[in-house]
C-alpha cells in the first residue's frame, strides 16, 4: 500500500518546486504510518519511553516534485539489527521515481537517551509481514 502525499504551497520554493528538506518530511510521515499500520502509534511508544530516531539517512533527488502533485511514498524494511531498522523509501509520481532514501532508525530509551533492543512485539509484527506500505 502506498502512502499518498499532496504537494501544498508550503512545501515549495518560490518557483513551485518542492524544497529539498520537505522530502524528509514526506518520508517521515510514511514511516509513521507504516508503524501505525501495525498498531504502533508514536504516542503509545512515547508512553513507554520508547522512540525510533533517525540515525542515518541517504537521499537521492532524481526529479522535482511540484505544487499540487499527488505523490506516493513506498516504504519497505530491508534489514533489522538488534536496535535498528533499515527502511528503503521511494517517492513516486505517475509511475516515475522522484526520490529515493535509505533511512536507518534506532530504537532508543527516552529516559536514558540510549539505544535499546527493538521490543519483541514490534519486531515480531514487522518481521511476520511483507514489509511494505
- What SS3 class is residue 94? coil
| pLDDT value at 130 more than 90 | no
Residue 2 is predicted with a pLDDT of 79
CA distance 106 to 67: 33
Residue 1 is predicted with a pLDDT of 53
In sequence order, what E strands does 7-48 have? none
Quote the cell numbers at residue 44. Answer: 503509545
pTM: 0.92
DSSP class of residue 8 equals P
Domains, the chain, with CATH or none? 2-122 (3.10.129.10)
CA 21 from chain centre, in angstroms, equals 14
Confidence of residue 107 (pLDDT cuts 50, 70, 90): very high
Give me the phi and psi of 82, to 5 degrees please. Answer: -55, -50
| pLDDT value at 131 more than 70 | no
Give catalytic residue positions. Answer: 13
Residue 127 is predicted with a pLDDT of 84
| pLDDT value at 28 more than 90 | yes
DSSP class of residue 133 equals -
Residue 133 is predicted with a pLDDT of 45
DSSP percent split of the chain into helix, strand, coil, nearest 5: 25, 45, 30
Residue 114 is predicted with a pLDDT of 96
Amino acid at each position: 500500500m502506498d502512502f499518498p502525499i499532496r504537494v501544498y504551497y508550503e512545501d515549495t520554493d518560490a518557483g513551485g518546486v518542492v524544497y529539498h528538506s520537505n522530502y524528509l518530511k514526506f518520508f517521515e510521515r510514511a514511516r509513521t504510518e507504516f508503524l501505525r499500520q501495525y498498531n504502533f502509534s508514536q504516542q503509545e511508544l512515547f508512553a513507554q519511553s520508547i522512540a525510533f530516531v533517525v540515525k542515518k539517512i541517504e537521499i537521492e533527488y532524481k526529479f522535482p516534485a511540484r505544487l499540487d502533485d499527488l505523490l506516493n511514498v513506498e516504504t519497505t524494511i530491508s534489514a533489522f539489527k538488534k536496535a535498528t531498522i533499515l527502511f528503503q523509501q521511494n517517492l513516486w509520481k505517475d509511475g516515475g521515481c522522484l526520490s529515493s532514501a535509505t533511512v536507518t532508525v534506532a530504537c532508543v530509551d527516552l529516559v536514558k537517551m540510549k539505544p535499546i533492543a527493538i521490543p519483541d512485539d514490534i519486531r515480531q509484527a514487522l518481521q511476520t509481514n511483507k514489509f511494505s506500505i
